[in-house]
Amino acid sequence: MIILLQGIDAFSLKEHLNFLKESFVKKYKDSAVNLLEIDSKDFDINKLRVCLLSRGLFAAKRFIVIKNLLGNQKDKKFLEELSQTIESLADDKDNIIVFREGDLKIAEINKKIISFLAKQKYSKKFEALSPAQTGLKINKILVKHKMIIEASARELLIERYGSDLWSLNNEINKLSAFKNFTGKITKADVELMTRQGFEEEIWPLIDALAQRQKNKALREVESLMTGGADLHSMVIPMLAWQIRLILKVKAAVDSLGLMEPYNLAAEIKEKPYAVQKTMNKIKDFDLDEIKNIYHRLMEIDISSKTNSRIDPVVLIDLLILSF
């Protein structure tokens, strides 16, 4: 059996993939089962043929996930060979091959294979969720915690995190724990526990650094602290996280080439939304420059915790002025 799982909603895609795996294991609970995940860079079409076409009385049932193979594939001959192979395996009911992709773009070179895969019975595309669909998804996540939520609280979560289900899931887990997994999550709870995505608040500072606007960057740091953000626990760690993400994305693009944000997010194991936003910034920084900024932030973080005589605000200001 061949399945294509694709789309921009990586969270729902991952949930559905886990469901398919669990169903497969349950179906063949009395048989030998192999669950395999193959990344695109490790994929070998000949090994796949040998693995799946071998037969035997005690041969293991296989559930194989192939990740991000089709999105940036430019080798026409390879795609033709792959098409022939998967067409020959489409009627295999004992083994399952899942192609796990991001938001696939159909081009002339991959049109045939993607069209074939998309027509398979259990293939599915996970589109971006509307606010109403996101609200239903929030309710579904809460059911697992045996929790409920006020409509106004749900609306505030959607206002702050949009359809980013990775962030919403994390916030719901945090809110549920805060309520001891009992009762109802209120709007007041959301306002208290989910600061307006602080990673969003740090972006104006990143923008100012990218544009080498030193005075604006200094004002942004002051604004964050005036707004209640603690330098030690919030500003430095979040700034370091954002710089590290820029470093990871730029290094990945330099190594793998430009690709769809959702495919790249899967490669570097980061949230698609954050990667998509970060990709707009990588052109503004040199790789060595980003590494230097990150290492200096780590030094500032350590110094501020171990040497009370050094004012970390001054160190941050000096870092900004060095741009």
> Which one, of 91, 88, 97, 90, lies nearest residue 62 by Cα?
97
Q: Which pairs from 275-281 meet CB under 8 Å and 24+ separation? A: 275/245, 275/249, 277/203, 278/242, 278/245, 278/246, 278/249, 279/249, 279/253, 281/206, 281/207, 281/210, 281/246
> Which one, of 16, 15, 20, 53, lies nearest residue 35 by Cα?
20
Residue type at 264 in one-letter notation:
L
**What phi and psi, each to the nearest 5 degrees, are found at residue 146?**
60, 40
Q: Please tell me what DSSP assigns to residue 310.
A: S
Coil, helix or strand at residue 49: helix
* pLDDT tens per residue across span 179-225: 888 889 999 888 877 755 566 778 888 889 888 999 999 999 888 88
Burial class (CB in 10 A: 0-12, 13-18, 19+), 47: exposed
* pLDDT tens per residue across span 84-127: 888 887 888 778 999 999 888 777 788 889 999 999 999 999 99
The span from the CA of 248 to the CA of 260, in Å, is 15
Token pair listed for 74: 């430019």
* pLDDT tens per residue across span 255-307: 877 677 767 777 777 777 778 788 888 888 888 888 888 888 888 888 777 77
The span from the CA of 132 to the CA of 149, in Å, is 15
Q: Mind listing the domains of the chain with CATH numbers? A: 2-126 (3.40.50.300), 131-193 (1.10.8.60), 198-321 (1.20.272.10)
